Amino acid sequence: MRNNVWWRRVAAVTVGLVAGGGIAVVSAVEVAAALPSGCLAPTRGQPTVTCVTELSTGTTAAAAVADSPVPCVLGVVSKDRLHACVMNRYQYDIFRMPEGTLVGTAVIQITQASELRYTARKWRHEFTLDVLSAVGELASGVVITPGLTCDDLCDADGLTLPRNVTVGDPKTVVYQPESEGPGNAETAQETSVTFASRNPQIPVSETVRPYQLPTVRCDSSTVIDNTRNGGCVYAEFEPTFTLSLADDRVNETAEHIRDTQATTTHHWGLQPGGTKLRRTTSDTNIAANREAACPRSLPRPTGKSCDEYPFASTSQGAAMEGAGDFSRRMVDARDNSRAGSDLGQFYRRNRILGNDAFWVEITTF
């Protein structure tokens, strides 16, 4: 937290900053004797001190990364099953010593966006480095060096060449971490950013560590169809399987699910207020759920098939947690088959493994 007196003095001198060949000459107004937290401790004879302060306020930008499917928000990690994004904002200050005069300041925004792949154990982690304002010693640019390192379950090139970033000319740095198979792995990456002036007389700032993106889970499980190379997801995000009442392909199945969510005690899969579903990959459990809900002895009218909800492929099926709190209905056989195919695609594209949780939403559009 900045000292208010110090901040007012900084504001008073900032407007007087000018760029120069060496250390810039500024107004004689000096900052308070005590430098703000976030400053590197000065050494004897050192001509300058650099300080980095994280800013918690400012305009958020949902479109900070134009093609990000999730919002990029200041100080908040947004994510879905395959994407994540977060922004951090810093003020980087340079003070001339020993008098403690402010000679350069910049506001810098660091955006991290990632894109996982459900068909590969390699993904994209992108930094966007953006100088929003800069004056004095930093008017000609801030040298920014991002970094990304992995734990033992992931490989990534942790070295990055410094980028000189000027106002209005953001730079992008892309890493491609990889978690080699075939086993399951939950891997975390650690990111860092350093700031420096282009003036070699001014020392590099201390390293800052932006918000970390969530742990990545990679697997090569055979329960995920047609993904022989495995894939990765943000497993802590619980995705939603959606069917539409307006979709003639699956509207009868959608109606059945809607009605069941409204009438069962657990409101299976309904968000909010209901109980989430969890996939089961046990053939024995799936067969038992189907037989409990739609026994083979049950007559099927021509062109109809028996639809059960909760799904037989979940631990909430009729023979498991859903015993006594499930529904079956005869629906158009092709409709039922298409809805089942859509559920299989949902499992695949979100890499829903055994016991993974998910929700079910029925829309009207």
Per-residue pLDDT, 290: 99
Q: Using the 8-state DSSP alphabet, how is residue 239 labeled?
A: -
Locate 7 and state its tokens.
Answer: 């901040």
Per-residue pLDDT, 259: 99
Return the H-helix or E-strand segment holding 114.
Answer: strand 101-115
Of 1, 133, 132, nearest to 61 by C-alpha is 132
Per-residue pLDDT, 158: 60
Handedness of CA 275, 281, 285, 286 (dihedral sign): positive
Per-residue pLDDT, 63: 42
Residue 150's identity, in one-letter code, is C
Per-residue pLDDT, 205: 80
Pair 200, 95: CB distance under 8 Å: no
Over residues 60-102, the pLDDT tens digits come to 544 445 567 999 999 999 999 999 999 999 999 999 988 889 9
Per-residue pLDDT, 255: 99
pLDDT < 70 regions, the chain? 1-34, 38, 42, 44, 57-67, 157-159
Per-residue pLDDT, 65: 54
pTM to 2 decimals? 0.85
Per-residue pLDDT, 131: 98
How many degrees, rounded to 5, is the angle at CA 142 between CA 84 and CA 136? 135
Burial of 41 (0-12, 13-18, 19+ CB in 10 A): exposed
Pair 80, 95: CB distance under 8 Å: no
CA dihedral 290, 296, 298, 303 (to 10 degrees): 90
Over residues 29-65, the pLDDT tens digits come to 344 345 777 687 767 677 888 999 999 865 554 444 5
Residue 97's identity, in one-letter code, is M
CA atoms of 56 and 67, how far apart (whole Å): 24
Per-residue pLDDT, 331: 99
CA atoms of 42 and 348, how far apart (whole Å): 55
Tokens 């299989």, residue located: 344
Per-residue pLDDT, 91: 95
CA atoms of 105 and 1, how far apart (whole Å): 17
Per-residue pLDDT, 297: 96
- CA 138 vs. chain centroid, Å, equals 31
Q: Helical H runs in the chain?
A: 4-14, 251-263, 283-293, 333-349
CA atoms of 350 and 224, how far apart (whole Å): 9
Per-residue pLDDT, 242: 99
Locate 257 and state its tokens.
Answer: 């699910």
Ordered by start, the domain boundaries in the chain are 4-219, 240-363
